Amino acid sequence: MPIQHETELYAPIKRFFEERGYAVRGEVKHCDLVAIRGDEPPVVVELKKSFNIPLLVQGIERLKLTSDVYVAFELPNKGRAPHRLHWDDISRLCRMLGLGVITVQFFKRKQPAVEIVSEPVPYTLRANKRAAGRVVQEFHERSGDYNVGGSTRQKLMTAYRERSLHCAYLLREQGPLSPRRLRELTGHRAVAGLLQKNVYRWFIRIRRGEYGLTPLGEQALAHYGHVLPAFGRSMGSAADAASSAEAVEAIAAIEAAASEVLELGRLEESPVR
């Protein structure tokens, strides 16, 4: 049965520190528990029946007094971390805040068990550049904002799903295509692997080097119809780019031919020596 008051945590935690040579006092200058051993810095423990935001706020406030601050609460039933978290999550959160974690487990017929889950240590937050790069890449590879933030238990429109949908759209519009042609039309380099893995079962290999669309692919196109206009725009942009490239090549060829004609004219006009 859960404890009724946070004061029930005081006695077992006091005994825990006293067994390790500390002198302990309760309610010292608004600190729930203060433990001191010799000339060492004071240890402050803030008590709450359960792990919550007010407990963290109190712990952060006590960091103004000492670097050795713990937050303590009752170990939930069956030893599970509270709020459907993992103990690693709680330890990491408190470590990032500079706080230690103490739990107390109560029993019917024996003394409560006190455990230090994590120690208060200075923490320097270092950004994971590789992970940040993957976030930026995923962001830019999406053609639009098709997901509602905070959604759970829903299929998300990821960059990979969007690439698959783009291929399915082209197969519906143009019929069976080769991976090479799909790569040219979509601009996605990894089209061949996408077709071979066929994660969503949208594609079928018709013959060597040629793929078509399955009924599941047709259903996906109907379900994600709101995304398809982006593919029409990208095809238009690709066509415009191709036309522009062809025009540039044609102009370059004309200019080269004109240069040759002018050069021949100069040679004919020059006197023979």
Q: Is residue 222 part of a domain?
A: yes
18 with 89, same domain: the answer is yes
| Among candidate residues 170, 217, 163, the one with its CA nearest the CA of residue 194 | 163
Residue 248 reports pLDDT greater than 60: no
Q: Is the domain of 105 the same as that of 177?
A: no
Strand partners, 33: 26, 45
Does residue 107 sit in the same domain as residue 139? no
Convert the pLDDT of each residue in 32-66 to its tens digit. Answer: 999 999 999 999 999 999 999 999 999 999 999 99
| % the chain with pLDDT above 70 | 84
pLDDT tens figures, 151-168: 888 889 999 999 999 999
The reply to whether 243 falls in a domain is no
One domain, residues 54 and 23: yes
The whole-number average pLDDT for the span 228-251 is: 59
Q: Is the pLDDT of residue 250 over 90?
A: no
Tell me: do 98 and 191 sit in the same domain. Answer: no
Residue 252: the pLDDT is 59
Same domain for 139 and 111: no
Residues 192 and 105 in one domain: no
Co-location of 203 and 165 in the same domain: yes
Distances 118 to 14, 89, 215 between C-alpha atoms, Å: 18, 11, 54
On whether the CB atoms of residues 43 and 22 are closer than 8 A, the answer is yes
Which residues sit opposite 34 in a β-bridge?
25, 44
Q: Which residue, 167, 181, 159, is CA-closest to 213?
A: 167
64-80 pLDDT per residue, tens: 999 999 999 998 777 78
In this structure, are 32 and 102 located in the same domain? yes
Cβ neighbours of residue 44 closer than 8 Å, sequence gap 6 or more = 31, 32, 33, 34, 62, 65, 66, 68, 69, 70
In a domain, 272, yes or no: no
What's the pLDDT at 268? Answer: 55
Both 91 and 159 in one domain: the answer is no
> According to the model, what pLDDT value does residue 21 have?
96
pLDDT at 197 over 80: yes
What's the mean per-residue pLDDT of the chain?
87
Q: Is residue 256 part of a domain?
A: no
Instruction: Say yes or no: 67 and 167 in one domain.
Output: no
Q: Is residue 260 part of a domain?
A: no
CATH assignment at residue 211: 1.10.10.10
228 Cβ partners below 8 Å, 6+ apart?
A: 165, 169, 221
d(CA 141, CA 199): 19
Phi, psi of 108 (to 5 degrees): -75, -40
Structural domains counted in the chain: 2
Decide if 268 is inside a domain. Answer: no
Whether residue 248 lies inside any domain: the answer is no
Which CATH number covers residue 26?
Answer: 3.40.1350.60
- Domain around 41: 6-118
Cβ(55)–Cβ(73) under 8 Å?
Answer: yes
Q: Is 18 domain-assigned?
A: yes
pLDDT at residue 266 in the model: 60
Q: Are residues 81 and 170 in the same domain?
A: no
